[in-house]
């Protein structure tokens, strides 16, 4: 059994190495910087608590991404229970992003995020992992525990919905 100090040091290295990529995966799902920070912290807490259960059956990155995505989706579900978004609130995603001091994109990028925000949670996640992270379907399949065929269909549908949204809101 590893010494507690060495386990802690190893975990600190994992946090250092994966904080930024996990942050951006989470941020693409939850959109807000503050929310992404909260979800990232929850991700690492959950990873630390469940570290003894990690069995090296997948890469550590796949395991962490799975935790981060599940935490992001749980966060969105909790947020939706607290506030039912109206059409006007969904439409304000672009304005909210443009006002966010941590958002460095332009109006077109904000509109893309707004279009992505209209997708159901799973489609949004698949779209983000494939479009922004250029992940292979096999990797996404491991993270989400879904077949590659289902992921390809989900991505195609999400891509069409985003395209339709952008055409409609030009």
pLDDT in tens, 104-146: 556 677 788 888 888 888 898 899 889 888 889 998 998 888 9
| Mean predicted confidence (pLDDT) in 17-46 | 91
Please, what sign has the CA dihedral across residues 124, 129, 131, 135?
Answer: negative
Q: Is 129 left (phi over 0), alpha (psi -120 to 50) or beta?
A: alpha
| pLDDT confidence bin for 96, thresholds 50/70/90 | low
Of residues 71 and 83, more confidence is placed in 71
Half-sphere CA count of 135, side-chain side, radius 13 A: 25
| pLDDT confidence bin for 1, thresholds 50/70/90 | very low
Nearest to 18 by CA among 63, 81, 78, 77: 63
Of residues 18 and 73, more confidence is placed in 18
């Amino acid at each position: 059994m590893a010494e507690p100090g060495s386990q802690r040091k190893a975990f600190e290295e994992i946090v250092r190495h994966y904080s930024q990529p996990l942050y951006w995966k989470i941020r693409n799902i939850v959109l807000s910087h503050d929310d992404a920070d909260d979800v990232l912290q929850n991700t690492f807490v959950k990873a630390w608590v469940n570290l003894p259960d990690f069995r090296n059956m997948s890469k550590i990155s796949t395991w962490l991404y799975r935790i981060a995505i599940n935490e992001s989706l749980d966060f969105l579900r909790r947020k939706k229970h607290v506030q039912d978004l109206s059409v006007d609130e969904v439409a304000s995603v672009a304005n909210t992003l443009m006002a966010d001091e941590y958002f460095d994109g332009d109006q077109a990028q904000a509109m893309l995020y707004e279009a992505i925000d209209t997708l159901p949670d799973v489609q949004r996640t698949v779209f983000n992992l494939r479009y922004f992270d250029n992940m292979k379907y096999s990797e996404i399949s491991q993270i989400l525990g879904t077949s590659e065929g289902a992921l390809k269909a989900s991505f195609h549908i999400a891509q069409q919905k985003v395209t339709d949204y952008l055409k409609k809101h030009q």
